[in-house]
Structure 1
Amino acid sequence: MRAEDLRRVSEALGSPVTSVSTLAGGFSHETCLLELPDGQVVVRLGGPDPAIEAAVMAVARDQVPVPEVLHVLPGAMILEYVPGIPLSEAFTEPAMKELGHQVGEVVAQIATVTFDRPGFFSDANLSIPPESAWSEQLPAMAATCMAAAGHRLDPATREAWLSLCTAHAPALSEIDAQSHLVHADINPKNILVTRPGGTWQVAAILDWEFSYSGSPYGDAANMTRFAADYPEDFVNAFREAFGSHHPDGWEYLGWVLDMFALSDLVTRPPGHQIADQAATRIRTLTTQAPPHP
């Protein structure tokens, strides 16, 4: 954290900062824990637009556990500190079925926030400009990404992936009009959990910078993208809890929606761990039968 950023934060808080430590964060921002004379706060530096993210968090906070935004500064947010551990660190603990159920319920609850139309938020008022439907966007988006992914995928795989995206894109017409809040980066590092009294609870959903209005199936697909790396009991309970709120077919449509994220991820620079995992998944998906619609 730069001295200038520390000064801005201290001025906004009206308090001196006694110590700074770096927390695990996303690839597009820096996250720090600040000690104050009377407590702790978290500072997020970077990200696409903190003002939009803060507005999303404000509407989400009525439905799911989200840290309170204390201040929004140019290029930064100051958040309340929420105790807990990342979900990824809880996978070695007992009661994975209980934990999976709790996470599935909270992820489903995000979608209870709705908007007038699907699309991406353009300002802190959460305005959504009209856009083409997801079913129309996927083939072109996949083509653009595959043209930029030559450093990670061979030509045959890129061609096969583009063909797969094009073949399944029409299925998204079934959910093109859905306009629910989508977190768009639901994964174990962005979920804080606690276990007070021996019962698992979701303490906070973090990092809303990529949120948009669309289908909640995308969040479920994001959460289960690398399900092979998680405890089986957790994954099964998550799917059951999330699926109890949605009709049959949500897993297939989520699988198609996740093609957007996978296509984008593999364009990241070399050395990006999640991008490398996404490339492995793309190779797998191009050589196996897709799930049933």
Structure 2
Amino acid sequence: MRETWERRHPLLQLDQATLKQLLQPALAGHSIASAELLHAGRNNTLYKITAEDREEALVLRLFQDDPAACKKEVELFNLLHARVPLAEILQADHEGHTYGYPYTIARWVEGILIEDILAGRAQADLAEVGYSVGATLATIGSYTFAHPGFFHDGLHLDEPEEETLEEVDEAKGYLAYLSSCLFPGKAERWLGAELTARLWTLVTENAHLLQATAGSRSLVHADYGGSNLLVRQERGHFCLAAVLDWEFAFVGSSLFDLGNLFRHEWLLPNEFEAACLQGFVQHGGVLPPTWKKITKLFDLINICTFLQAPESRGSLVGDMITLVRWTLEHWETY
């Protein structure tokens, strides 16, 4: 669905001389054979680069939306790459000294996006794909930190406030954030008064369920979905080839990532979802009794954040309104 969303920032058009300047250390003296401006993603600019006399391609990624995310991506690669499939980062400029935007250069990873498989644009064994996606999510969640929070300056977390050292009231913080997204006249502007009231009633009546995740200190990708998951076939079996784009990562509950993954549940084949949950649990992931309601509550954070957009950004706002209606209409089935 994201292909019909408008970008947050215009694509950066780089000339050949600029590309050569940025890429030269990674190219090790080789000339650029081709530079393809990619249209994947909606926040940053990416180029696929091939070099003369080199078989492998590279990806140049310029961080437009959040320059600080560059350092976070590099440090997460260093932390995770031994156990989580990632695109190998070869070079990075955290500060943007060379061009004005921070950037990374990584190896191109051949594979199929899971969104293409689920949309029927590519074929794969759905059970194998799902199992690998769930198992990898559990592995990501096995990386824990001192306390929940958001990263800054790489992987540093702010020290928790004194009152958060005791058990946190998850519902209070959750409702405060959703309220800031909805009111006054923010997401409410797109949803309308009646739909906003129904949504607010649902979250206030169910936010207590989030207490099951209190104190979770797992690494969360925060955009763990089909557009960021590449798979390929190795030794006759499909497996995850790379988890892409870690710019939104934070510390919290892995159920946040499950909510993202299962967002468009009506598009997910049963065998994919079942295998994903099996892989997640068999590799250490934990599903509390009300896990599905919790994942939907978590994903409403993403949905309401998107709905703060001042413009409709193509189909984005309409897609989010559809998701709110779907959640309200199907809540009792979760």
Instruction: Tell me if both proteins adopt one fold, taking TM over 0.5 as the criterion.
Output: yes
1:197-224 CA distance string (max 9 Å, x none): 4310110000000000111111111100
Quote the residue 1:19 is aligned against: 34
Aligned residue type for 1:262? I
Q: CA deviation at 1:88?
A: 1.7
State how 1:239-250 maps to structure 2 within 5 Å: 239-244=277-282, 245-249=285-289, 250=291
* Equivalent-residue separation in structure 2 for 1:151 and 1:69 (angstroms): 41
Give the percent of matched residue pairs that are identical in Structure 1 and Structure 2.
23
Q: Note closer, same or farther for the CA distance 1:146–1:125 as it changes in structure 2 (3 Å cut).
A: closer
Give the Cα separation in 2 of the matches to 1:5 and 1:151. 42
Distance 2:306 2:144 in 1: 27
Q: Which of 76, 92, 106 lines up with 1:56 in the alignment?
A: 76
Q: Distance in 1 between matches of 2:265 and 2:328?
A: 18
Any unmatched runs of 5+ in structure 2?
1-12, 97-101
- 1:217-240 deviation per Cα after TM superposition (whole angstroms, max 9, x unaligned): 111111001121132321222123
Q: 1:127 aligns with which of 135, 140, 157?
A: 157
Report deviation, 1:24. 4.1
Alignment-derived partner of residue 143 in structure 1? 179
The structure whose Rg is larger is 2
More displaced stretch, 5-14 vs 98-107:
5-14
1:9 paired residue among 15, 22, 38: 22
Alignment partner of 1:166: what SS?
A: helix
Contact 1:57 1:208 in 2 (8 A): no
The answer to whether structure 1 residue 31 and structure 2 residue 46 are counterparts is yes
RMSD: 2.2
Distance 1:23 1:56 in 2: 23
The 5 Å alignment of 1:142-221 reads 142-147=178-183, 148-221=186-259
- Residue 252 of structure 1: which of 293, 317, 321 is its match? 293
Q: Deviations over 1:147-177 (max 9, x none)?
A: 3124531121122222322222222223121
Counterpart of 2:322 in structure 1 is 280
CA contact (8 A) 1:252 1:291 kept: no
When structure 1 is superposed on structure 2, of 78-87 and 170-179 the one drifting more is 170-179
Q: Separation in 1 of the partners of 2:204 and 2:21?
A: 48
Shift of 1:99: 1.6
CA contact (8 A) 1:222 1:258 kept: yes
Q: Quick check: 1:56–1:211 contact (8 Å CA) kept in 2?
A: no
2:54 is equivalent to residue 43 of structure 1: no
Distance 2:320 2:281 in 1: 24
d(CA) in 1 for partners of 2:259 and 2:128?
Answer: 20
Residue 63 of structure 1 aligns to a residue whose secondary structure is coil
Letter in 2 for 1:42: V
Please say if 1:88 is aligned against 2:115: yes
2: distance between equivalents of 1:24 and 1:233?
A: 30
Q: Distance in 1 between matches of 2:18 and 2:104?
A: 11
Q: Distance in 2 between matches of 1:224 and 1:24?
A: 24
**Structure 1 unaligned residues grouped into runs of 5+:** none
Kindly report structure 1 stretches of 4+ aligned residues shifted beyond 4 Å: 131-134
TM-score by length of structure 2 reads 0.80
Using the TM superposition, give the Cα deviation of residue 291 of structure 1 relative to its aligned residue in structure 2, in angstroms: 5.3
| AA in 2 matched with 1:142 | L
C-alpha distance in structure 1 between counterparts of 2:18 and 2:227, whole Å: 25
Per-residue deviation, residues 235-261 of structure 1 (Å, max 9, x unmatched): 222123224431432333222222211
Contact 1:139 1:169 (8 Å CA) reproduced: yes
Inter-partner Cα distance in structure 2 for 1:165 and 1:33? 43
Pick closer, same or farther for the CA change 1:24–1:107 going to 2, 3 Å.
farther
Alpha-carbon distance in 2 for matches of 1:142, 1:5: 42
CA–CA distance in 2 between the matches of 1:127 and 1:12? 32
- Determine helix, strand or coil for the equivalent of 1:286: helix
TM superposition shift of 1:286: 2.6
Matched-pair contact (CA < 8 Å) for 1:122–1:129 = no
Letter in 2 for 1:281: L
Aligned length: 292
- Distance, in Å, in 1 between the alignment partners of 2:252 and 2:21 is 35
